[in-house]
Amino acid sequence: MTSLFRKESRRILAVWFPYLGTERIWRQRFGRSWRSKRSDKPPLVISHHENNTQRISALDEQAEVLHLKRGMGLADARAMHPSVDVVESDPEAERKLLESIADWCDRYTPLVAIEGSDGLFLDITGCAHLFGGEEMMLYDLVSRLSGQGFDTRTGLAGTPGAAWAAARYRLPPIELNGEKEVLAPLPLAALRLDEDVRIKLESVGLRTVGAIIQTPRAPLARRFGARLLIRLDQALGTIDEAISPRLPVAALSVERHFAEPISLIEDVERILWSLAGNLKRDLERRGEGARRLQLSLFRVDGAVSRIAVGTSRPMREPAFIARLFHERLATLAGDIDAGYGFDLVRLSVLATAIFDETQSDLAGVELDAEENIALFADRVRARLGDHVILRPFMVESHIPERAVRLDPFTDVSVRKTVRAIKSDEPSVTYYPPERPLRLFREPEPVEVTAEIPEGPPASFRWRRSAYRVVGAEGPERIAPEWWRKTETSATRDYYRVEDEEGRRYWLFREGFYGDPKNMPKWFVQGLFP
């Protein structure tokens, strides 16, 4: 099924987890089935240190029934109910839990953003029809999260602000342009205002959203700041509030849902082949090929595994895509935990490029030598990593060790620009200086005996061996790249030298003789064949 979004009015789904901190503790103690074992357990609160006092930062349903509240001192809570179970807060663990839930919610829409420390925003514009409508989507999301052990509150509206309020105040889905009427009777906390601003508004008798709407805007802005009106306009849809998704949105995406979860990697690869075939038709329609693909495996218990591969050339063929993921899955086989099985498999294209059409053999798909090399490199990179195969690229630099950069292998066409020679220009033949075939990554120091001040080397000692020079050419002078702020090298004089056994070396002197405090240094840069 291809995820094609309809052009509809904006719809934002807010998801709130009122007991996220305590649910994390119970999940750690009892696993996914903790709710069925919860009746005989003591009330649970999570404390944090604030102003030299331990206060309640989160609590479960049983603790709320005992009239305990967030922000209450821990000593007071224990005095009221000595049997309460207290755990120190761990904001980082709760953040990771919320991020894992956000990853799982990617099954509904790619536009998922974290809101605060206990909520999510999902932009489901044009997605609801894929799940049978908004009502069926909400039912599916809430029932699945409940099965994972989370108490979930949802709100649906045309703006993030209204959806946030609907989730906190248990409101039904808000229809298009109905935000003003629904939010008017709610308290000021529904506008996501800072506490100090809310207290000031209540002190002058403004206690509901409707009261703010009916009050002249200019006096409100002067006395309580422009932030108040911005929050009001965002909730009512007067100004737009952007949602920044956690993950990049794929250019194309195809997926398959399963009534019965699958758990074998072999089954995943068979499904992948089918999805790649569907993806090929979409890529052909766009005249593009995939340069980076991602396979997402959604487990029924909420965990998500994402596996990405890159390609050297734009790719469409399902067989080639399947080969790349086969290599990657073979490497990660021990790291992918199927758990209770995968109920959703998705193949996404994260990056595309123009696909150059070529005539293929009627008997099937055939590759030329360059394409074979590119496919081989892609398969090795998929199995062993991007930095296993490197490719040299020329860099504009006078310094030899900087003139070439090694990057991960990609099929970047080298376009040679030839300048047209006018008929009246004389023909000039340019012979570039000879360079060694083997160039060291970094120059290696040598001890050299040479005629002062600028004579060629007569002998040198390198890697604990002595060499006598019988022939030398040079010098070739290369000045330092003075425009670099971090440049510390001096002028270099290069010599091509040959020893008694016919071996040729590329040596250079850095600096000049004459300054006793900064004597020149000699290095060997490379070897000639």
Paired sense of beta strands 44-50 and 53-59, if any = antiparallel
Q: What is the residue extent of each domain of the chain?
A: 12-18+94-236, 252-367, 438-527
Report the CATH fold assignment for 252-367. Answer: Dna Ligase; domain 1 (3.30.1490)
Find the range with the poorest average confidence among 185-189, 294-298, 375-379, 490-494: 375-379
3-state secondary structure 346-395: EEEEEEEEECCCCCCCCCCCCCCHHHHHHHHHHHHHHHHCCCCCEEEEEC
What is the model's pLDDT at position 370? 62
Q: What is the CA angle 306-308-311, rounded to 5? A: 165
Mean pLDDT on 365-382: 68
At 153-172, the pLDDT tens digits run: 999 999 999 999 999 999 99
Mean pLDDT value of segment 5-24: 83
The lowest-confidence range among 79-83, 112-116, 270-274, 415-419 is: 415-419
Least reliable range by pLDDT among 290-299, 429-438, 449-458, 510-519: 429-438
Distance CA(477)–CA(406), nearest Å, equals 26
Q: Residue 158 class from Cβ within 10 Å (0-12 exposed, 13-18 middle, 19+ buried)?
A: buried
For residue 361, the model assigns a pLDDT of 53
pLDDT at 517: 77
Q: For 42-86, write each residue's pLDDT tens digit.
A: 889 999 988 888 999 999 888 988 889 988 999 998 999 888 999
Q: Count H helices, E strands: the chain?
A: 14, 19
Q: What was the pLDDT predicted at 206?
A: 92
pLDDT tens-digit profile of 199-251? 999 999 999 999 999 999 999 999 999 999 999 999 999 999 988 999 888 98
- Per the document, the length of the chain is 529
Question: Binning pLDDT at 50, 70 and 90, where does residue 34 land?
Answer: low
CA distances to 62, 218, 303, 502 from 102, in Å: 27, 39, 10, 67
The pLDDT > 70 percentage for the chain reads 89
Quick one: what percent of the chain has pLDDT higher than 90? 51
Q: What is the pLDDT of residue 430?
A: 54
**Cα-based distances in Å from 240 to 128, 159, 385, 396:** 21, 8, 42, 46
| 12-18+94-236 and 252-367: identical CATH topology | no
Instruction: Determine the pLDDT at residue 38.
Output: 54
**Per-residue confidence (pLDDT) for residue 413, from 0 to 100:** 42
Mean pLDDT, residues 182-189 taken together: 94
What's the CATH architecture for 12-18+94-236? Answer: 2-Layer Sandwich (3.30)
Are the C-beta atoms of residues 230 and 238 closer than 8 Å to each other?
A: no
Write down the pLDDT at residue 39.
Answer: 55
pLDDT higher than 50, residue 3: no
User: Which pLDDT belongs to residue 366?
Assistant: 52
Q: How do residues 97-111 score in pLDDT, each as one tens digit?
A: 999 999 999 999 999
Q: What is the mean pLDDT of the chain?
A: 85
| pLDDT surpassing 70 at residue 425 | no
Lowest mean pLDDT, pick from 148-152, 353-357, 412-416: 412-416
